[in-house]
Structure 1
Amino acid sequence: MSLEADLARWREHLTRFAALLGNPPDRHATPAPGAAPGHCLIFAPHPDDECIVGALPLRLRQEAGWRVSNVAVTLGSNAERREARWAELLDACAVLGFGCIRVGEDGLSDVRADAVKPEQVEALAALLTEHRPALVLAPHADDDNPSHRGVHRLVVEAIAAAKVDTVLALTEFWSTQDQPNALVETNIADTARLIAALERHTGEIERNPYHLRLPAFLADAVRRGGELVLGAGEAPPDFAFATLYRLIACRAGQPVADLPRRVFPAAQALSSDLLTS
């Protein structure tokens, strides 16, 4: 594809984004045949992570009828902003159609991989035991933020403590992960919805308009995912935006196997059996 064609394609994307950001349409496709709808828990280190890594849960909700709940593990380090961040999170999740679960009154504090507290693990294990989610999202072990690394360890230990059967989807933001095995496309409308939800975190984007940079993050996942998921030297996917995950099957709380490497284009509706095949 020529440079002129690439630029024309980006201009088209940006024009459509401008039209969609104010009120992106919701998709309520007829769930594809497969297993019964499940429940997904997103263990978010901070309010806003549910938008940044939310492609797979969003598509499962819209295309397979899943219920999605965001677990606010923390409400940030600034105690004076926690109530405002909770309110912003409720607004963002309303855009995505996600529920919200608050861990304690103010979320957990001082969540770090090198200082995990038993009561923190117990709090998350209790949620897992109550909800028995078919899919759990958490940052990968080396996501380069102390709270992200802390939440990874908390979730892994909580899954073990609760002894649940689930699929753990490792996410990335602050640094990339080495072995992603799922590349999940979002079309223009769904990408716009993620950005519109992220925009609801008004206090955060006032200091850093990172919602405007989310398309670049999702576009880079396509570049990387074409090689890491499809294989070195393979033709890259013919779409603009996607999110990378590493999907790991857990049985009785223990990881047993990575799921096969797959690309999930937006043109093909997701079904619940993607977590078993």
Structure 2
Amino acid sequence: MSDPNPYLANPYLDWVRGLEASLRAAAALEPPAPAEAPAPAPAGTPERTALIFAPHPDDEVIVGALALRLQRELGFRVTDVAVTLGSNLARRPGRLAELRAACRALGFALALPVPDGLSGINPRAEQAEPENWEAAVAAVAALLEAHRPAVVFLPHEHDWNVTHTGTHRLVLAAMRRLPALRCLTVETEFWGAMAAPNLMVESSAEDVAELVSALALHRGEVARNPYHLRLPAWMIDNVRRGAELVGGQGGTAPDLAFATLYRLRRWEAGAWHEVLPAGQVLGRHGSLAPLFAG
């Protein structure tokens, strides 16, 4: 006689139900109170400065796992460049306040290309709004020249959202304005997965919890879509993807729980140069220094 309820025999049922219950319990948690003062941040030098070009407030946290490790393990000064403050003009003051709180929580500095954030940053803007685009490129180039970063984070060219892909084009145009600029670039993903990431960076449970907490400080955004609660699941799935895309097709998956995928290259003489002969996995106990200290 067959089992009247075959689900009862499934050894994974309680585990999946536990995940569901945990997600619902997390939704009832109160977001953290914003810190009054920023977390201690290294003073930084041009050799140890990283700029995160974030298309929207919250992207600095979503892709910030590697930046957080650079700050804590190698003493980098990390500055979030808020390229835009979103398209909703009425929400911009609120989003800026939330962004300041999130950056304080992580110890990131904050810079804006212009006081209210840029507008019209999308792939068609260069042709459709040339004056606005030229002003935006000049503002980003001025930031790059002022900070002289060792590492630049920017979205990859196919990150789906038009402001993400526009930010890629914007930062690339600004870098081309500076012939002497030499830095590592770290391309990031969120809305659209990279076809060829070459670096998988593990995060500890403590770091993931800190990122979730900082993301929760973008209160207005997570109130409409609690994506901060799904950040750990995204990072778990990154391990699945990275095992093949970074580690090699058909290889054995590394024993990681949470990771973020990136594409690491060097920018020099107005062009990109490869720095990794093959994909690399950086576990949470591995040293970042061989890639980022020189």
- Residue pairs, 1:1-150, within 5 angstroms: 7=15, 38-116=48-126, 117-150=133-166
Could you tell me the percent identity over the aligned residues? Answer: 47
Q: CA deviation at 1:276?
A: 7.3
SS of residue matched to 1:60: helix
How many residue pairs were aligned? 261
Query: Is the 1:40–1:57 contact (alpha carbons within 8 Å) kept by the matching residues of 2?
Result: yes
- Residue pairs, 1:115-264, within 5 angstroms: 115-116=125-126, 117-163=133-179, 164-260=181-277, 261-264=279-282
Unmatched runs of 5 consecutive residues or more in structure 2: 1-9, 34-38, 41-45, 127-132
Evaluate the alpha carbon distance shift between residue 165 and residue 5 of structure 1 in structure 2; reply closer, same or farther with a 3 A threshold.
Answer: farther
Q: Of the two structures, which has the highest relative contact order with CA contacts closer than 8 Å and spacing of 6 or more?
A: 1
Evaluate the alpha carbon distance shift between residue 37 and residue 238 of structure 1 in structure 2; reply closer, same or farther with a 3 A threshold.
Answer: farther
Q: Which moved more, 1:258-267 or 1:184-193?
A: 258-267
So what's the TM-score if we normalise by structure 1?
A: 0.87
Amino acid paired to 1:268: G
Ranges of 4+ aligned residues in structure 1 off by more than 6 Å: none
Query: Is the 1:39–1:133 contact (alpha carbons within 8 Å) kept by the matching residues of 2?
Result: yes
Amino acid paired to 1:262: Q
Q: CA deviation at 1:6?
A: 10
Q: CA deviation at 1:258?
A: 4.5
So what's the TM-score if we normalise by structure 2?
A: 0.82
What is the match of residue 31 of structure 1?
none
Q: Which string of whole-angstrom CA distances, capped at 9 and with x for unpartnered residues, describes residues 73-109 of structure 1?
A: 0000011111111110011011111000012121000
What is the match of residue 33 of structure 1?
none
Bigger radius of gyration: 2
Query: Is the 1:72–1:102 contact (alpha carbons within 8 Å) kept by the matching residues of 2?
Result: yes
Aligned CA RMSD, in angstroms, stands at 2.7
- Equivalent position to 1:266, from 248, 261, 284: 284
Q: Which string of whole-angstrom CA distances, capped at 9 and with x for unpartnered residues, describes residues 151-172 of structure 1?
A: 0000111111123101111111
Unmatched runs of 5 consecutive residues or more in structure 1: 29-35
